[in-house]
Chains A and B, each alone.
Chain A
Amino acid sequence: MSEDDDRSPSPNSITDDSSQTRTYTTGSGPGPGPGSSSVLEYLAPCPDQVLENVLENVLWFLTSRKDRNAASLVCRSWYRVEALTRSDLFIGNCYAVSPKRATSRFTRIRSVTLKGRPRFADFNLMPPNWGAHLAPWVSAMALTYPWLEKVHLKRMSVTDDDLALLAESFSGFKELVLVCCDGFGTSGLAIVASRCRQLKVLDLIESEVSDDDVDWISYFPDTGTCLESLIFDCVECPIDFDALERLVANSPSLKKLRLNRHVSMGQLHRLMVQAPRLTHLGTGSFSPSEDVAQEHLKPIISNCHKLQIFWVLDSICDEGLQAVAATCKELRELRVFPFEAREDIEGPVSEVGLQAVSEGCRKLQSILYFCQRMTNAAVVAMSKNCPDLVVFRLCIMGRHRPDHVTGEPMDEGFGAIVMNCKKLTRLAVSGLLTDRAFAYIGKYGKIVRTLSVAFAGDSDMGLKYVLEGCPRLQKLEIRDSPFGDAALLSGLHHYYNMRFLWMSACNLSNQGCQQIAQALPRLVVEVIKHEDNLDMDENVDTLYMYRSLEGPRDDVPRFVSIL
């Protein structure tokens, strides 16, 4: 079946010879197919049509989303051609556009990326069943994208039925990536495993998978698979190791394997013997005590001169980070997670580790650092030593904690980051912060796209500085900060440029949010009440607002009201 069944077929397409059809009929089958005109138009080719054909041939190669969006705005003809040649559909907010609208405009999609819930939902700040259901999307795509190959989902609610429909509808389906998703179980995985015969990638990352007592690994075909990547470290259910061993033996292309904690070290060894081509290996079961980790890690790290991405627990301590700084000169991304996520302990990593990393890893581009204590000096040092920083996320776990040496707010540190890191697009702030910090962000953070704020600021001015000063701001998430209606209203000029704004436990009132909703009709303004507080009082617990072409969604749960 040709994917271009909206174009009238030419007589020559009966032969299905793609070389013959290239000049004047529709392309057929998978792969880019040039040409989009019908026979009639060929008989009387006008210059516009020729131009359009040329454009189509050229636009196939345009992969950047931004460039495509720009190209589609040139004129109707370019809009049409761009839509025909786009193969990757990226939807940053599943409620910004309806499945119908998206599938009508883009008819030749091979890969879909959908993002649902806002990020703060990951931290239990949103009641469950808020939305972001995959169901309407997979139904629409089943009808319009028979050649769909890849589905990447983030923070969506996916059911086993959705997975079943997906497995049945797309015969050439190759890649399923589910990040921070929930709503499905091992039965859904079993269906995907057994029906998607072309499956190359099945990556389950930080998703909640319910245990339906189905041994899903054994549902992969015994005759062999095309699997290149299998990641399931987040699947908490035990698996049948023999089935896994058989699967690995039957998957000659397997390069990436990340297992869950039910696979022991001995079993892992057996698997590695079967799969010598592995390039990425993750173990879910290795869980050393803190002391052991320190001793074993340092000698290993001292040999990793080419390490670029490093995710580690803070049990590595400042000493461990110093070892990283001494060796890993190529480090681009560092994430330090807390072993014990508490506010009231001393903490094994501090400004010492951060300072060391800043001095040793000059090529650092992205950092996520959880700690209990920090100083402005170390943050300033990083701003000067690591000019390539694109992502700077510092989480001082004690709320409102100042510089522990000087006692001052952390304003100057974060100020230095926005001032000196000219490539910075993502920032997360923490510690004791006054409005001054936000003044810095508004003044210097001209290309910041994502900003996370928690327990910070003194007054409305803080938020105003940011909304008025950051023209590229797209995603703003704020919790427990003293920003009110006046601050919210100061962003009216900008909200259509943003993907979303989240504000929870701030000083907003229904009235203020109502004003926004009235001023900006294309904005969906959701007021989310916590389930134990369903009375309609003036204070807004959580505001989540986003631009949308569709108006209020029709799957609103009872704890959400759309103004």
Chain B
Amino acid sequence: MGGGAAYENDLNFKATELRLGLPGTGCTNEEQAVSGAKNNKRPLLETREERGSKEKSDPQHDDQETDPAPKARIVGWPPIRSYRKNSLQTKKAEAEAAAGMYVKVSMDGAPYLRKIDLKVYKGYPELLKALENMFKLTIGEYSEREGYNGSEYAPTYEDKEGDWMLVGDVPWDMFLTSCKKLRIMKGSEARGLGCGV
């Protein structure tokens, strides 16, 4: 897995850089190329700081080296034979594979949550269509540059690191492994997820 470090390198710093100049002039071809890269993220401004503090306090974040010593893995403890541990891990993986990948879907303004199985869909178009049907709304088409402009709503998701991303930013397979939950935001809020302002 790429891990936090990889994401750091690919952050689009230019987008959040404070400069003098007209808005929109920062989006060069270079950035467009970057935004097409696999690991590109478009995090909401506020979540970046949240993420910083969250990582420090999250003791189970495998990617970081912040695990304090008492929680570090000890050889041979608990005393389970590797055969049994391995077979359980295989069982767990198989169970997850068999059981589907259910994520909660919330919509701003809707009274309750829904759950969908991401495994059922082959790609973004199918997923978006399903969401449209489920919540009786139109989401419109995704564009890398402008997200879901032209629609009242934009589908977003929370990834493994707790950041809110626009659905469609990353390749489908990566989305499957990193999506923890979905949230259909009202368009105005969602526009803050764009690379420009």
Which A residues fall within an 8 A CB radius of B?
A: 120, 122-125, 180, 206-208, 234, 261, 284, 287-290, 313, 337-341, 343-344, 370, 395, 397, 399, 454-455, 479-480
**Across-interface contacts of A313 in B (CB, < 8 A):** 88
One of A123, A207, A288, A339 near B76 (C-beta < 8 A): A123
A-B contact count (CB 8 A): 73
Given contacts A180-B83, A261-B87, A454-B77, 12 further A-B contacts (CB under 8 A): A120-B79, A122-B79, A180-B81, A288-B95, A337-B80, A337-B84, A340-B92, A343-B78, A344-B60, A397-B77, A479-B76, A480-B74
B81 A206 Cβ-Cβ under 8 A: yes
A124 and B82 in contact, given A288-B95, A289-B99 (Cβ under 8 angstroms) = yes
**Across-interface contacts of A395 in B (CB, < 8 A):** 78-79
How far is it, in angstroms, between the C-alpha of A338 and the C-alpha of B77 when the chains are bound?
12
- Which of the four size classes fits the interface of chain B? 20 to 34
| B75 within 8 A of partner (CB) | yes
Which residue from chain B places its CB closest to the CB of A125 in the assembled complex?
A: B76
A124 and B76 in contact, given A206-B84, A337-B84, A344-B59 (Cβ under 8 angstroms) = yes
**Across-interface contacts of B188 in A (CB, < 8 A):** none
| B71 within 8 A of partner (CB) | yes
**Across-interface contacts of A340 in B (CB, < 8 A):** 92
- Some 12 contacts from A to B, beta carbons below 8 A apart, are A206-B83, A284-B87, A289-B95, A313-B88, A338-B78, A341-B78, A341-B80, A344-B71, A395-B79, A397-B77, A399-B74, A480-B74
1/0 per residue, CB under 8 A from A, across B76-115: the answer is 1111111111011011101110110000000000000000
Residue with the highest number of chain B CB atoms closer than 10 Å, among A180, A313, A479: A479
**Across-interface contacts of B99 in A (CB, < 8 A):** 289
A394 nearest CB across to chain B (Å):
12
How far is it, in angstroms, between the C-alpha of A288 and the C-alpha of B77 when the chains are bound?
26
Which residue from chain B places its CB closest to the CB of A339 in the assembled complex?
A: B88
How far is it, in angstroms, between the C-alpha of A397 and the C-alpha of B79 when the chains are bound?
9
How far is it, in angstroms, between the C-alpha of A340 and the C-alpha of B80 when the chains are bound?
10
**Across-interface contacts of A180 in B (CB, < 8 A):** 81, 83
How far is it, in angstroms, between the C-alpha of A284 and the C-alpha of B91 when the chains are bound?
10
Secondary structure type dominating chain B contacts: helix
Which residue from chain B places its CB closest to the CB of A477 in the assembled complex?
A: B79
B83 A208 Cβ-Cβ under 8 A: yes
A123 and B91 in contact, given A344-B60, A399-B74 (Cβ under 8 angstroms) = no
B71 nearest CB across to chain A (Å):
6
How far is it, in angstroms, between the C-alpha of A123 and the C-alpha of B98 when the chains are bound?
30
B87 A339 Cβ-Cβ under 8 A: no
**Across-interface contacts of B75 in A (CB, < 8 A):** 123-125
How far is it, in angstroms, between the C-alpha of A292 and the C-alpha of B78 when the chains are bound?
26
Which residue from chain A places its CB closest to the CB of B82 in the assembled complex?
A: A124
How far is it, in angstroms, between the C-alpha of A207 and the C-alpha of B88 when the chains are bound?
15
Which residue from chain A places its CB closest to the CB of B90 in the assembled complex?
A: A261
A341 B85 Cβ-Cβ under 8 A: yes
Residue with the highest number of chain A CB atoms closer than 10 Å, among B60, B77, B85: B77
B85 nearest CB across to chain A (Å):
6
The 10 A-B pairs of least Cβ separation, nearest first, read A123-B76, A287-B91, A289-B95, A397-B78, A289-B99, A122-B81, A125-B76, A341-B78, A287-B94, A341-B80
B81 A123 Cβ-Cβ under 8 A: yes
B159 nearest CB across to chain A (Å):
22
A338 B76 Cβ-Cβ under 8 A: no
How far is it, in angstroms, between the C-alpha of A206 and the C-alpha of B86 when the chains are bound?
11
**Across-interface contacts of A207 in B (CB, < 8 A):** 83
B92 A339 Cβ-Cβ under 8 A: yes
One of B60, B71, B85, B98 near A289 (C-beta < 8 A): B98
A437 nearest CB across to chain B (Å):
18
A525 nearest CB across to chain B (Å):
22
Residue with the highest number of chain A CB atoms closer than 10 Å, among B76, B82, B90: B76
**Across-interface contacts of B81 in A (CB, < 8 A):** 122-123, 180, 206
Residue with the highest number of chain B CB atoms closer than 10 Å, among A124, A341, A479, A480: A341
How far is it, in angstroms, between the C-alpha of A370 and the C-alpha of B77 when the chains are bound?
12
Which residue from chain B places its CB closest to the CB of A208 in the assembled complex?
A: B83
**Across-interface contacts of B78 in A (CB, < 8 A):** 338, 341, 343, 370, 395, 397
How far is it, in angstroms, between the C-alpha of A480 and the C-alpha of B79 when the chains are bound?
13
Which residue from chain A places its CB closest to the CB of B83 in the assembled complex?
A: A206
How far is it, in angstroms, between the C-alpha of A288 and the C-alpha of B82 when the chains are bound?
21
B79 A123 Cβ-Cβ under 8 A: yes
Which residue from chain A places its CB closest to the CB of B81 in the assembled complex?
A: A122
A123 and B59 in contact, given A261-B87, A289-B95, A289-B98 (Cβ under 8 angstroms) = no
**Across-interface contacts of B87 in A (CB, < 8 A):** 234, 261, 284
How far is it, in angstroms, between the C-alpha of A343 and the C-alpha of B60 when the chains are bound?
12
How far is it, in angstroms, between the C-alpha of A399 and the C-alpha of B69 when the chains are bound?
13
**Across-interface contacts of A341 in B (CB, < 8 A):** 78, 80, 85, 88
How far is it, in angstroms, between the C-alpha of A455 and the C-alpha of B91 when the chains are bound?
30
A347 nearest CB across to chain B (Å):
11
Which residue from chain A places its CB closest to the CB of B59 in the assembled complex?
A: A344
**Across-interface contacts of A287 in B (CB, < 8 A):** 90-91, 94-95, 98
A399 and B84 in contact, given A287-B91, A289-B99, A343-B71 (Cβ under 8 angstroms) = no
**Across-interface contacts of B85 in A (CB, < 8 A):** 341
How far is it, in angstroms, between the C-alpha of A307 and the C-alpha of B169 when the chains are bound?
55
B175 nearest CB across to chain A (Å):
22
Which residue from chain A places its CB closest to the CB of B75 in the assembled complex?
A: A124
How far is it, in angstroms, between the C-alpha of A344 and the C-alpha of B80 when the chains are bound?
16
How far is it, in angstroms, between the C-alpha of A480 and the C-alpha of B84 when the chains are bound?
23
1/0 per residue, CB under 8 A from A, across B34-77: the answer is 00000000000000000000000001100000000001001111
B61 nearest CB across to chain A (Å):
13
**Across-interface contacts of B98 in A (CB, < 8 A):** 287, 289
**Across-interface contacts of B94 in A (CB, < 8 A):** 287
Which residue from chain B places its CB closest to the CB of A205 in the assembled complex?
A: B83
**Across-interface contacts of B88 in A (CB, < 8 A):** 313, 337, 339, 341
**Across-interface contacts of A454 in B (CB, < 8 A):** 77, 79
Which residue from chain A places its CB closest to the CB of B99 in the assembled complex?
A: A289
**Across-interface contacts of A288 in B (CB, < 8 A):** 95
How far is it, in angstroms, between the C-alpha of A44 and the C-alpha of B81 when the chains are bound?
61
B71 A120 Cβ-Cβ under 8 A: no
How far is it, in angstroms, between the C-alpha of A455 and the C-alpha of B96 when the chains are bound?
34
**Across-interface contacts of B83 in A (CB, < 8 A):** 180, 206-208, 234
Which residue from chain B places its CB closest to the CB of A293 in the assembled complex?
A: B95
**Across-interface contacts of B60 in A (CB, < 8 A):** 344
